[in-house]
Amino acid sequence: MIRVTIWNENVHETDQNEVGEECRKWYPEGIHTALKNNLAAPDLEIRTAYLAQPAQGLPDELLNSTDVLLWWGHCAHGEVEDALVSRIQDRVLGGMGLIVLHSGHKSKIFQRMLGTSCRLVWRDIAERERVWTVDPGHPIAQGIPSSFPIEHTEMYGEPFGIPDDGKIVFLSWYQGGNVFRSGVCFQRDRGKIFYFAPGHETFPIYHNTNVVRILANAIRWAAPIAPVRDDAQNCSHECDPIEPIA
């Protein structure tokens, strides 16, 4: 049983404007609940959490029992406390999987894990995106066609400021002329990280069959293969000579 926690800043969901209305239309109980329902499976124990909860939704007992954390944020990145970011980073380094969604490219936790600018260019005019499978043999690409369309999307385009060890699984084409490394894997110490660009607060992308399948695959791929360690940041230690000093 993989213990999954879906974290959502859950802000657009209550916006009293057009964005909020559109968001509630596709995600009436929030993006986190939609993802939980769409990802439901016998081998997954899925919990949800959001920013307005105590401990910003991730008290120790929840974070420390999470095998794979999904992260959705957009307009409230700055409100996430640095201490929480450090606790999440420690757990990722210890082996917890981390799946960062769409606008999470500018989240504190993604930038903390990668160290780069995570810059990109963007455009929000509901254009068409086509997602290409670049590594069809990758576990996250199993069951996904060579390409699939997303009718209405927010464009995220290159140059994308990420490190070179990003293993590219998906590349996106956009109607307006841009391209993007839209599905990329990283490893940091024992933890696996997957960034996936498709997804948005006002489009029904998290109801797209292929998108859901990709996230479902990513959860299994990112799940730790051994118990998550809690000493990632303090694991440096003195070491006696292991061979005789002549």
DSSP state of 74: S
Residue 35 or 93: the one with the smaller Cβ distance to its own copies is 93
Least distance (Å) between residue 243 CB and its own copies: 3
Helix (H) or strand (E) holding 60: helix 60-63
Q: How far is the CB of 60 from its own copies (least distance, A)?
A: 20
128 vs 207 by CB, closer to its own copies? 128
Q: What are the distances in angstroms from CA 85 to CA 9, 36, 96, 206? A: 14, 23, 14, 25
Query: Among residues 16 and 236, whose Cβ is nearest to its own copies?
Result: 236
Nearer to its own copies, 61 or 238 (CB): 238
CB of 237 to its own copies, least distance (A): 6
> Cα-atom radius of gyration of the chain, to the nearest Å?
18
| Residue 163, CB-side half-sphere exposure with 13 Å CA sphere | 14
In whole angstroms, the minimum distance from the beta carbon of 127 to its own copies comes to 6
* Nearest alpha carbon to residue 131 among 185, 186, 168: 168
Select 78 or 244, whichever has its Cβ closest to its own copies: 244
Residue 32 contacts residue 6 (beta carbons within 8 Å): yes
The Cα 32–Cα 16 span in angstroms is 19
Considering the complex, what minimum distance in angstroms separates the CB of residue 111 from its own copies?
A: 8
Task: For the CB of residue 107, give the shortest distance to its own copies in the complex, in Å.
Answer: 13
Give kind and range of the element (H or E) at residue 44: strand 44-50
231: three-class secondary structure by DSSP: coil
DSSP helix/strand/coil, 149: strand
Identify which of residues 36 and 138 has a Cβ nearer to its own copies in the complex: 138
